[in-house]
Amino acid sequence: MFSSFFSTSAPTDPHAPNFHPVSSGLQPSELFGELEPKDTEWACPGGFAVETQIFYTFLEDGTSLMCQVIHSSVGVWYPTIQFTCKIHNPNTGETAWKSVNVANFVTPPPGLDKRSSKADQFSITYKPSADASTPDGYTIRANLGDDLQISLDVTRTPDAPGFKVGKGPRGGFSDFGTDRANPEGYVVHRFWPRYHGKGMYIHKGKAITVNGPGMFVHAIQGMRPNLVAARWNFAHFQSDAHGGVSAIQMELTTTEAYGPKGAGSGFVTVNVGSLVLGGKLAAVTAETRYPNEPLPENAAVVSRAEHSKAAIDPDTGYKAPAELVFRWAAPSVVADAPGAVDATLTVDVGELDAPKGLIEKVDVLAEIPYVIKTMVNYVAGTKPYIYQWLNRATLNVTGPDALIPGLSGGLKVEGIVYNEATFIS
């Protein structure tokens, strides 16, 4: 186990690339990799790894409902499995938060495959499609205590398949270490960019109906979190306009230790995303930015998150954003709607003394299991924080009219965006 904390073997060439981003070597036409059944199965890796399934759903009144299962391994210790749930109502300002260490976690449950899991406190059951015209989905049932129960069915939008960046079993992977065939660590994301959630949750005895859009992600960090990234950005935009629109982005910036020329050449930013337009998966984006190498404004593929306004937050010591700009551009992946797709989302989250839509500044070390917290804190000395926001926003988008009538002239799509900015070191 301790070899994962303290590496004693140096690469033959200290300046060899030791980070290999998911977009490496992919042409614009190769970015969309359709999910295979194994891609969203629970891997339950050993060593130091965190695997998660997360369902983000928006209710009709703008409330955000997040359900997450986290499988955390720390060396030789038995894994810790948590079910977490965060509900935020922007109209009342109320936030409900639950994090439960579950017992008797099993995957696969009897009669199911490893896309499903269960424990004493929850079950998540994958529902395969009956035929090509019927989308697949998940059934989520959770009893997180006397004050919170969840019953939710999510069904993937029929014309928005799940995706990863790149095809085949290695699609979605960014690898750490000089030998990509035997990486020191990795990060992988697989997405459903849009689904419909239907059901209810009961909070403090009150039943709340769930009926709205959302997204699903299955991700693994096969490495200590503080080595994977110094920063993360995440955006999740949904709208029911024009037959269904979504825009999602996941971005990480490596630590200084991992980059194109070995240790000291890091702070490489990797961004993956997608656009659903007219209910169809219209574009998959992926872009890598290296330090001191500006990106072209009019690249064929753009996938970027920018903190366009920011200031030092005395509470955390980090430079927190006041405004974020997310940008997507790529060729359409819809066969009968060829052409370029381009979208921009500007999110005003307010100044530090007048925030807009701030749900919480999460002190991560206060939330994760004790054993992991001890190792991360004392071995790495990190102090991670996650800023979480929920706001109304407008997606400015252009693309082929075959996707949405009038799209070639540009459309403003009103919707809801949940976004996070994470600072680790």
| Continuous segment of H or E residues that includes residue 226 | helix 225-228
Q: Which positions of the chain have pLDDT values less than 70? A: 1-12, 76, 367-381
pLDDT at residue 88, as a whole number: 98
272-328: pLDDT as tens digits: 999 999 999 999 999 999 998 999 989 999 999 999 999 999 999 999 999 999 999
pLDDT at residue 224, as a whole number: 85
CA distances from 424 to 93, 122, 225, 283, 381 (A): 27, 30, 9, 30, 10
Widest distance between CA atoms in the chain: 62
37-61: pLDDT as tens digits: 999 999 999 888 999 999 999 999 9
pLDDT at residue 76, as a whole number: 65
Q: Exposed, middle or buried: residue 56 (CB in 10 Å: 0-12, 13-18, 19+)?
A: buried
Q: What is the SS3 assignment for 107? A: coil
Domains assigned to the chain: 2-423 (2.40.370.10)
Instruction: Please tell me whether the overall predicted TM-score, pTM, comes out greater than 0.85 for this model.
Output: yes
Among 195, 263, 183, residue whose Cα is nearest residue 221:
183
323 touches 349 (CB < 8 A): yes
- The dihedral built from the CA positions of residue 418, 79, 34 and 197, taken in this order, carries a sign that is negative
